[in-house]
Structure 1
Amino acid sequence: MDSTPANRRLWNRISSAYQREHDPQIGAAPRLWGMYSTPDAHLHAVGDVTGRRVLELGCGAGQWSRALAAEGATVVGLDLSEAQLAAAGRAMGAARYPLVQGAAEQLPFAADSFDLVFCDFGGLSWAPPRLAVPQAARVLRRGGRLVFNVASPWFEACYDEPADRVTTTLQQDYFGLNTIAEGDGATSFQLTYGDWVRVLRGAGLIIDDLIEPRPDPTTPNGYNRTDPPDWAHHWPAELLWTTHKP
């Protein structure tokens, strides 16, 4: 069942509240990854983007895209939600770049168009990866890179829905995550480690690294409650995949 219309409605509805709550954190400095705002300078996932053509899948208000455009990349920001794109347009400033409304599972770009496709809890969390990853691979040039950050399946499997927090107890079937109901018919997506490997390899991509960011015990999670608070210091909360197209 196509989740695109419901996901678009959800993000149009929550965009303003989401940006009010999270932009002070994710917009505070350039290149911050994930729930713990881990600097890319510590993880070295993106690399030098000067002169590169870059596509962000699920750009939101453009915090990442703005930073990379300011560094000399030719950036295109894609998002499903017109409300999120409007927020990106308002915040664009001097580092201007094109904004495109579209879905990660059906990219409106020609093959071999980009040197880097990336997302941080964007298109590869809110579109079926089995459809979106081949699309990302299609629009990459030879030698181009797909870099993306998603929630760890263990983080999802330990989410206690009634308590609205992540715990140390397995709550859900690891092999049955696949689709996650987000309310109002919206859906996010999750794969096991093995399925991620198979999807990436099936799209013709070479896996270069799997980074599991480990925040300092005192670093807060800006999005979820965890019990204990330093959960992600002990177990992987996120998967940051770096791949390339041979």
Structure 2
Amino acid sequence: MDSIPANRRLWNQISSAYQHEHDPQIGATPRLWGMYSIPDAHLHALGDVTGKRVLELGCGAGQWSRALAAEGATVVGLDLSEAQLAAAARAMGAARYPLVQGAAEQLPFAADSFDLVFCDFGGLSWAPPHLAVPQAARVLGRGGRLVFNVASPWFEVCYDEAASRVTTTLQQDYFGLNTIAEDDGATSYQLTYGDWVKVLRGAGLIIDDLIEPRPELGTPNGYNETDPPDWAHRWPAELLWVTHKP
């Protein structure tokens, strides 16, 4: 299915409110992963990016891209939404980098363009993985890495739509994970563990690590209600995949 038009409309509509709510946290400190803002210094997913050619899939207001550009990476920020890209341009500051409008499943870059492609709940949550992962692999050079953070299948199957919160009860079939209906006809995507492995290996990538970020007790979730509040300390809420192209 072509989810690009509806996803673009949704993010254009919600960009201002999203950045108003979340930028004070994710823009305050560089390299924070996911719903619980866990520092990359604790997870060691990206490592040193100095001198690397880096593509962020779904850069939003560019909080990650600004930080990596300031560290000496040659960064390109890609996003489907012109409103999100406008927010990134306004916040760019001294660490300037190119911004490109495009979709993760249709990357407008040549092969061997990047040393690192990454996203944190960006393009690989909002594009069909069986299309977007091969695109990411195509634009990576040999030895280049694809690193991305997405919601865990545990999180999705325990999400109670009626209550708008994550619970300790299974709410939907694990093997039914694929597309998730969002507001205004938009679509996000989720795979089982096995399907993620198939998609990554099918794109010719080597899986180096699967990090399941575990927040400390009392760490708030900045995006979702959970019951109990420390849900993600007990079960994995996110998957942080670290892969490379041989």
TM-score bracket relative to the smaller structure: over 0.9
The CA distance in 2 between the partners of 1:42 and 1:206, in whole Å, is 23
SS at match of 1:201: helix
Q: Cα distance, 1:217 vs. partner?
A: 1.1
Instruction: Give structure 1 regions of 4+ aligned residues with deviation exceeding 6 angstroms.
Output: none
Q: Cα distance, 1:177 vs. partner?
A: 1.6
Q: Cα distance, 1:183 vs. partner?
A: 1.7
The CA distance in 1 between the partners of 2:199 and 2:214, in whole Å, is 25
1:70-120 per-position Cα deviation (integer Å, ceiling 9, x unaligned): 000000000000000000000000000000000000000000000000000
Q: Give the TM-score taking structure 2 as reference length.
A: 1.00
1:174-194 per-position Cα deviation (integer Å, ceiling 9, x unaligned): 111200000211000000000
Q: Cα distance, 1:155 vs. partner?
A: 0.1
Q: Which residue of 2 aligns with 1:152?
A: 152
1:184-218 per-position Cα deviation (integer Å, ceiling 9, x unaligned): 11000000000000000000000000000000011
Superposed, 1:60-209 pairs within 5 Å as 60-209=60-209
Q: Cα distance, 1:168 vs. partner?
A: 0.2
1:142-171 per-position Cα deviation (integer Å, ceiling 9, x unaligned): 000000000001101000000000000000
The CA distance in 1 between the partners of 2:112 and 2:25, in whole Å, is 34
Q: Cα distance, 1:41 vs. partner?
A: 0.2
SS at match of 1:55: strand
Q: Give the TM-score taking structure 1 as reference length.
A: 1.00
Q: Cα distance, 1:244 vs. partner?
A: 0.2
Q: Cα distance, 1:63 vs. partner?
A: 0.2
1:31-87 per-position Cα deviation (integer Å, ceiling 9, x unaligned): 000000000000000010000000000000000000000000000000000000000
The CA distance in 2 between the partners of 1:122 and 1:219, in whole Å, is 22
The CA distance in 1 between the partners of 2:51 and 2:192, in whole Å, is 35
The CA distance in 2 between the partners of 1:146 and 1:58, in whole Å, is 14
The CA distance in 2 between the partners of 1:126 and 1:8, in whole Å, is 10
The CA RMSD measured in Å over matched residues stands at 0.3
How many residue pairs were aligned? Answer: 246
Q: Which residue of 2 aligns with 1:230?
A: 230
SS at match of 1:130: helix
The CA distance in 2 between the partners of 1:37 and 1:183, in whole Å, is 24
The CA distance in 1 between the partners of 2:172 and 2:57, in whole Å, is 28
The CA distance in 1 between the partners of 2:61 and 2:230, in whole Å, is 28
The CA distance in 1 between the partners of 2:220 and 2:7, in whole Å, is 27
Determine what percentage of the aligned residue pairs are the same residue.
Answer: 91
